[in-house]
Amino acid sequence: MSRTDSIGDVILTLPMAGILKEANPDIEIVFLGKKYTRDIVGSSVHIDSFLDWDEISNQDKLEQIRIFQGVNADAIVHVFPVKEIAHLAKKANIPLRIGTTGRFYHIISCNKLLSISRKKSDLHEVQLNLKLIRPFIGRKDFILNKLPDYYGFKKIEPLEEKFRNLISKEKFNLVLHPKSKGSAREWGLHNFAKLIEILPKEKFEIIITGTREEGVLIKSKILDKFPKINDLTGKLSLKELISFINQADGLVAASTGPLHIAAALGKYALGIYPPIKPMHPGRWAPVGTKADYFVLDKRCSKCRELDSCECMESIKPEDVKNKLLSLKK
């Protein structure tokens, strides 16, 4: 199973492994991914081993082929198509090589082609991914709200005491992840600041997460204004972030990896989305037993070429607050 892109994309690929395991419990699943997603993949009980594409891609071609051959794979599924990986799989003589007809190089490198158009589809990303395993499970369609059962996101390490002490036993522990490393349209720091201001302090324990660089960006707008909230920007590894979210009660973010982590862990995951295809929640909403989202009920493409989204930023913090107040710890 090959998916060498970002955290959220990888999480939305994991149900493929759960469904394959359900259909054939003896199957062994190897995940080919980027180094920084290893801890995401390693959190699923359905993945047997991980291949680091960053390490493999630094080898010469003969060594890359040798590594692919050493896996002894019977099949490879190109969930995220990469030309170099597709050709390597063919050169390594992997018997069944599954790709989509939308990539010309798949016609040359794959021997099982599926007609799947992500750009024009109304299906969610998880449902589109599952179409790629039809050669193993048949033409079965899956209802979105049934798919959280297949993450297998259960191999979570215990949280260190210094972070565990930040978790309140009385309040709703709410993680706010204001930035997205440029991977998604953002709600705006002013909206997150307003949300922190209006949430009842006696009911919510607020934790801010993000990278060290993001911490610098949000310092004056959020961290300096609210010195009593818990600032974890730049202080957590990915593995620690997963463990922390697992101890929290909920998370608010744009369409980012942490949002999908929270959904996969069964936490309350509230995403804020633009009404722009294909960025809209119809394609990328968090999928979980307690997942939800905000999006304006309109069609809009005015902001398609911009970094910000007027429609998204106009979602009121008061509405998010009211949604959060309806939840129980």
Residue with token string 């589809």: 121
- For the stretch 179-190, pLDDT in tens is 998 778 899 999
Q: Are 321 and 184 part of one and the same domain?
A: yes
Of 122, 150, 178, the residue that ends a domain is 150
- For the stretch 255-305, pLDDT in tens is 999 999 999 999 999 999 998 888 889 999 999 999 999 998 777 666 666
- Residue 19 sits in a domain whose CATH number is 3.40.50.2000
Does residue 184 fall inside a structural domain? yes
Does residue 74 fall inside a structural domain? yes
Does residue 158 fall inside a structural domain? no
Q: Are 91 and 219 part of one and the same domain?
A: no
Q: Are 101 and 66 part of one and the same domain?
A: yes
The predicted pLDDT at position 302 comes to 67
How much is the average pLDDT of 83-105? 96
Q: Which residue has the higher pLDDT, 143 or 59?
A: 59
Domain range for 31: 7-150
Does residue 237 fall inside a structural domain? yes
Residue 273 tokens read as 């989305």
The radius of gyration computed from the CA coordinates of the chain, to the nearest angstrom, equals 21
Give CB contacts under 8 A, 24+ apart, made by 17-22.
Answer: 17/44, 17/46, 17/47, 17/150, 17/152, 18/44, 18/46, 18/149, 18/150, 18/151, 18/152, 19/130, 19/133, 19/137, 19/142, 19/150, 20/46, 20/133, 20/136, 20/137, 21/46, 21/152, 22/150
Q: Are 311 and 204 part of one and the same domain?
A: yes
- For the stretch 222-233, pLDDT in tens is 999 999 999 999
Look at residue 251 and give its three-state secondary structure: strand
Domain count for the chain = 2
Q: Are 113 and 198 part of one and the same domain?
A: no
Q: Are 146 and 188 part of one and the same domain?
A: no
Does residue 95 fall inside a structural domain? yes
Residue with token string 């957590």: 236
Question: If you ran DSSP here, which 8-state letter would residue 78 be given?
Answer: B
Q: Are 181 and 263 part of one and the same domain?
A: yes
Strand order in the sheet with 250-253: 230-231, 204-208, 172-177, 250-253, 268-272, 291-294
